[in-house]
Structure 1
Amino acid sequence: MRHWACATLFIVLFFSSPAWAQDAAVPESIKPGINEAFLDLELDVEAWVNRFEVESREVFHAKAEIVQRLKLSPGDRIADIGTGTGLFVEPFSQAVGEQGWVYALDIAPKFVERVEKLAEIRSLNNVTPVLCSKDDIRLAPGSINAAFICDVYHHFEYPQQSLASIHKALAPGGKLVVIDFNRVPGESREWTLNHVRAGKEVFRAEIEKAGFRLVGEVEVPSFKENYFLQFERK
């Protein structure tokens, strides 16, 4: 149980550190309120499990394809940024093996609690849940060689600051994978147009500006609404 004690201490130290106090100094949110529901301390986690982990959700249906195309190797250290209900935590844990590590990050305390319980129940001893902030993933410099952002980038309220923290946490040459919704006026459904702030090209430009190089767009045959972009840290 020492592993879980360390995870809890990790979270407590961040909340008591000056880094948390700096949140008040960040620029104005690019989309205020988009994460408000997740920060509710009474968040109904099971309701979100029923919403996120269903066949009708494209990334849930394509989970095996996504993991396969990530091409994780034993020993990799990956950050699942915006892990939510922990959909990818177990397959990532299996892919990186005993010598690898999975950091399951979220801004929602209730989601972090769920992933901690999930990892303990399923004996995923290479998983550390991390409560991050709206503008900082809060991982040590060079601590990961892969970062995964699935249906979450459009929830970044402070993309410049969040991307800077990801760039810092990634080792040089590390990969960043971003999966998000195609937002095309006249083609995308109304929910996407209202909820997702920008299209693929805008997101790509933001990420490249933050010090990443586009490796390419990865084809996922079952995708109809989503895209899969892979970047490399310069």
Structure 2
Amino acid sequence: MKPLFRPIGLSTLFVIFSFARSFGQQPAPATEAQKGAYQYRKAAYDGIGKTYLGREISQVMGHLGAAWLERPEREQEERTDLLLEALNLKPTDVVADVGAGTGYFTFLMAPKVHRGKVLAVDIENEMINDLNQARKKKNATNVEPVLGTITDPKLPANGIDMALMIDAYHEFSHPREMMTNIVRALKPGGRVVLVEYRAEDPSVPIKPHHKMSIAQATKEMKAVGLTLKSVYKKLPQQHVMIFQKEMP
């Protein structure tokens, strides 16, 4: 995820920072297992030319966009306080913050799961370095940075109570593989929480490929065995969509 313009607040029409890191601009050819899941076409201005279940995957924002993740106005613009409440975290929860970036939300969750932990997953070494430095500075002993890959977040099987993705899932270049591995990591009754800018609302000042609708997200989660359980609608511009693994 990297910047095109410098955003100055929600009163200004800004675009999500876009940058082609290793999995952005050059999608890999489909493997035999992927055939039928992905298609390729000429890329839109904010897409990568690779589609999944009818959605073109967006370009990404990398470590050079880190300042935007930590902008002072983020709490008010996104009401991260309300999001934290909506997660209903338990002290013993093991939470995966997938696409953690600088750990903005990782370190908000850590005190809430003081008898559990937060696995802060990112695929860029620069972000992992930032997370490790912040963990030491904040003495957040229950935060564990995890270097994942474009297909695997490297989470323990049956090891997490919740996987949280904040404005990240739409950028995954291999969403089927990533979500399959995330579902494998869920404990029984575990949750996947997607936070995405509302595609249904044209007034949300975000580039189109960086938004998702409830219908599209539900379709993509169903493909890996997840069912939509609830949608939290109190955030100014984002959906909070909560999914659970379908039971046999």
Sort the TM-score into its range (normalised by shorter chain): 0.7 to 0.9
What's 2:221 paired with? Answer: 207
Does the CA-based 8 Å contact 2:58-2:171 persist in structure 1? no
What's 1:219 paired with? Answer: 233
Does the CA-based 8 Å contact 1:58-1:225 persist in structure 2? no
Task: Report the CA distance between 1:198 and its aligned residue.
Answer: 4.7
What's 2:178 paired with? Answer: 162
Tell me how far apart the structure 1 counterparts of residues 176 and 238 of structure 2 sit (CA, whole Å): 22
Match of 2:59 among 34, 38, 41: 34
- Partner of 2:199, secondary structure, is coil
What's 1:115 paired with? Answer: 131
What's 1:196 paired with? Answer: 210
Gaps of 5+ in 1: 1-22
- Cα distance change on mapping 1:138 and 1:24 into 2, 3 Å: farther
Task: Report the CA distance between 1:205 and its aligned residue.
Answer: 0.9
Residue identity in the other structure for 1:153: Y
Task: Report the CA distance between 1:157 and its aligned residue.
Answer: 1.3
**What do the CA deviations read for 1:214-233 (whole angstroms, capped 9, x no partner)?**
1111132xx23211111112
- Cα distance change on mapping 1:58 and 1:123 into 2, 3 Å: closer
Task: Report the CA distance between 1:209 and its aligned residue.
Answer: 2.1
Match of 2:193 among 172, 177, 182: 177
**What do the CA deviations read for 1:58-116 (whole angstroms, capped 9, x no partner)?**
7864111111110111111000000011111222110011x201100011211111011
Q: Does 1:90 align with 2:104?
A: no
Residue identity in the other structure for 2:236: K
What's 1:228 paired with? Answer: 240
- Cα distance change on mapping 1:86 and 1:109 into 2, 3 Å: same
Task: Report the CA distance between 1:120 and its aligned residue.
Answer: 1.1
- Partner of 2:152, secondary structure, is coil
- TM-score after normalising by structure 1: 0.76
- Partner of 2:153, secondary structure, is coil
Residue identity in the other structure for 1:78: V
More strand by share: 2
- Cα distance change on mapping 1:61 and 1:188 into 2, 3 Å: closer
How many pairs are equivalent?
A: 200
More helix by share: 1
Match of 1:76 among 93, 105, 110: 93
Gaps of 5+ in 2: 1-28, 39-49
Q: Does 1:133 align with 2:133?
A: no
Kindly, what percent of the aligned residue pairs are identical? Answer: 24
CA RMSD of aligned residues (A): 2.5
**What do the CA deviations read for 1:16-74 (whole angstroms, capped 9, x no partner)?**
xxxxxxx9957465457823x52xxxx54xxx342122254478641111111101111
- Cα distance change on mapping 1:49 and 1:78 into 2, 3 Å: same
Residue identity in the other structure for 1:62: R
Match of 2:84 among 67, 91, 94: 67
Does the CA-based 8 Å contact 2:191-2:245 persist in structure 1? yes
Q: Does 1:106 align with 2:122?
A: yes
Task: Report the CA distance between 1:213 and its aligned residue.
Answer: 1.6
